[in-house]
Amino acid sequence: MNIILTGFMGTGKSAVGRKLARSLGMEYLDTDELIEERERSKIYHIFEKKGEPYFRKVETAMVREVSHLDNHVISTGGGVVLKDENIKALRRNGFIICLTANPEAILKRTERIQDRPLLNEPDPEKRIKELLRMRRAYYEKADFSIDTSNLSVEEIVRRIEGVLRKKDESCSCRPGGA
């Protein structure tokens, strides 16, 4: 079983994912990092040179690939939820947790980063609000959601661990079958 972290950029997926994987003794993967390695190019260059549709196609192929793994914490790009096939693939062997944050927290966390292709425009806060509104229904498909706006990475990890414990305790599975 994998733990999948989804959510908008700047919600803490990478930092939380790394720390959560260490804490649980699992492997960690970031789909955006894997795409950059495979494409030998930064995400913003892929958007710039080949466009968002190309990137989303590569992203879906990567999701298909990592969804077959086991015992991983997988951080996904903020737009991975836009394709239902991505969510279905990740859910087959994963528990999906959406990290959320308010627009102000996202802006503060991303304002110094120049390689966010969807925010490189005159009014990034307005764009954040638009994208959050457009993606809300997709993010709500997660199995669990945590607002990270006012939490430290450690607090988020502890909350996720608590959710996973409760999930395991509520499982009516018994060794040897039914």
What pLDDT shows up at residue 176?
41
Query: Is residue 113 predicted with pLDDT exceeding 80?
Result: no
CATH of residue 113's domain is 3.40.50.300
Give dist(CA 145, CA 162) in Å, integer: 13
Give dist(CA 104, CA 49) in Å, integer: 30
For 74-103, write each residue's pLDDT tens digit. Answer: 999 989 999 999 999 999 999 999 999 999
- Angle among Cα 89, 14, 155 to the nearest 5 degrees reads 110
Confirm whether 170 is domain-assigned: no
Confirm whether 164 is domain-assigned: no
Give dist(CA 96, CA 90) in Å, integer: 8
Q: Decide if 79 contacts 7 (C-beta within 8 A).
A: no
Q: Decide if 58 contacts 39 (C-beta within 8 A).
A: yes
Confirm whether 161 is domain-assigned: no
Confirm whether 142 is domain-assigned: yes
Confirm whether 45 is domain-assigned: yes
For 33-48, write each residue's pLDDT tens digit. Answer: 999 999 999 998 998 8
Confirm whether 168 is domain-assigned: no
Q: Decide if 69 contacts 63 (C-beta within 8 A).
A: no
Q: Which range is least confidently modeled, 12-16, 102-106, 169-173?
A: 169-173
The closest of 114, 160, 117, 175 to 20, measured between CA atoms, is 160
For 58-79, write each residue's pLDDT tens digit. Answer: 999 999 999 999 999 999 998 9
Confirm whether 175 is domain-assigned: no
Query: Is residue 177 predicted with pLDDT exceeding 90?
Result: no
pTM: 0.89
Predicted confidence band at 178 (pLDDT cuts at 50, 70, 90)?
very low
Range of the domain at 124: 2-156
For 115-147, write each residue's pLDDT tens digit. Answer: 655 566 778 889 899 999 999 999 999 999 999
Q: Decide if 21 contacts 30 (C-beta within 8 A).
A: no
Identify how many contiguous H helices and E strands the chain contains and give both numbers: 8, 5
Q: Which range is least confidently modeled, 55-59, 95-99, 110-114, 158-162?
A: 110-114
Beta-carbon contacts of 143 under 8 Å, excluding residues fewer than 6 positions away, are 91, 95, 96, 97
The total of structural domains in the chain comes to: 1
Q: Quick one: what percent of the chain has pLDDT higher than 70? A: 91
Confirm whether 174 is domain-assigned: no
